[in-house]
Amino acid sequence: MKKIFDNISHEMSQLTTRRYSTSFSLGIRFLNKEQHKPIYAIYGFVRFADEIVDSFHDFNKKELFEKFKADTFESIENKISLNPILNSFQWVVNTYNIPHELITLFLNSMEMDLTKEIYNKEKYDQYILGSAEVVGLMCLQVFLNGDQKKYSELKPYAMKLGSAFQKINFLRDLKSDFESLGRCYFPGIEINEFDNKIKKEIESDIANDFKIGFEGIQMLPKNAKLGVYIAYIYYFNLFKKIKKLPAKEVLNSRIRISNKRKTSLFFVSYFKLKFNYI
């Protein structure tokens, strides 16, 4: 039965999210229940595309990515795919009318990771747009479920929040990205020149993104606000932890929030929202 296959597809997206990201998995659980399936579907798709370009070094990544890209749009058009992750994703795209332009921008950014790019400001902004900002917009389309007026109003805020999350990832993974993948996304920065001054400049930019992103969270409908706020709190606390460290330590260790601390943050976030503190 097709319904069984679709259910398996959605379960695979959920499993993918839980295996790859405990933080996002916990955040999704605090969304309205009807939003779980579509957000898992988006994350599963994004994760698989990222995995191709970041991990499959013993295979022809360009060929694999081109097939994944073609299969993505074919599944959306045909409303089915034998790849459970793409079958789940095409469902959310067609159900919530996610603009195909967002998918194209995302895949274009992932494709940039197939080569060792030297990022200037233009390429950096292009990469951030596709890898993070449009993912935020896909999720926003789900949260607002067809309310295009509200979507247009919240669009710039969602983009800034996605941008903040991605820049934190870049900062946290600065050394590993360079050593294992040969990448440094921040424009005009040589890894051996990364110092406290450069770090503070990057942090100032991220702080501004967080500020604008938080304003958007406050305008979200109640059924989405808690889950997004929890993701914000996790990344903002990661940001605060990074800010306290000197540049050398950021380069020499991967900064993390412990599971115990995550749980504490999530419960505090829940009660803040419950009693209208955000």
Q: Where do the domains of the chain lie?
A: 2-274
Phi, psi angle pair for 116, to nearest 5° = -85, 95
Nearest Cα neighbor of 225 from 158, 126, 130 is 158
Long-range own/partner contacts, residues 85-88 (CB < 8 A, 24 or more apart): 85/9, 85/12, 85/13, 85/16, 85/44, 85/45, 85/48, 86/45, 87/5, 87/6, 87/9, 88/6, 88/9, 88/10, 88/12, 88/13, 88/37, 88/40, 88/41, 88/44, 88/45
**Encoded tokens for 106:** 């995302």
pLDDT at 258: 77
pLDDT attached to residue 175: 78
Cα dist from 181 to 56, 117, 176, whole Å: 11, 11, 7
Q: Given this model, what pLDDT does residue 137 score?
A: 97
Please state the pTM of the whole predicted model. Answer: 0.92
Residue 5 Rama label (left phi>0; alpha psi -120 to 50; beta): alpha
DSSP state of 31: S
- Tens digits of pLDDT across the chain (278 residues): 889 999 999 999 999 999 998 777 878 888 889 999 999 999 999 999 999 999 999 999 999 999 999 999 999 999 999 999 999 999 999 999 999 999 999 999 999 999 877 788 999 999 999 999 999 999 999 999 989 999 999 999 999 999 999 999 988 888 777 767 777 888 888 788 889 999 999 999 999 999 999 999 999 998 889 889 988 988 999 999 999 999 888 888 778 777 777 778 777 777 776 666 66
Instruction: Quote the CA–CA distance of 92 and 42 in Å, as a whole number.
Output: 8
With b for 16 or more beta-carbon neighbours within 10 A and e for fewer, the 13-46 pattern comes to: bbebbbebeebbbbbbebbeeebbbbbbbbbbbb
- Topology annotation, domain 2-274: Farnesyl Diphosphate Synthase (1.10.600)
Q: Check residue 277 and give its pLDDT.
A: 63
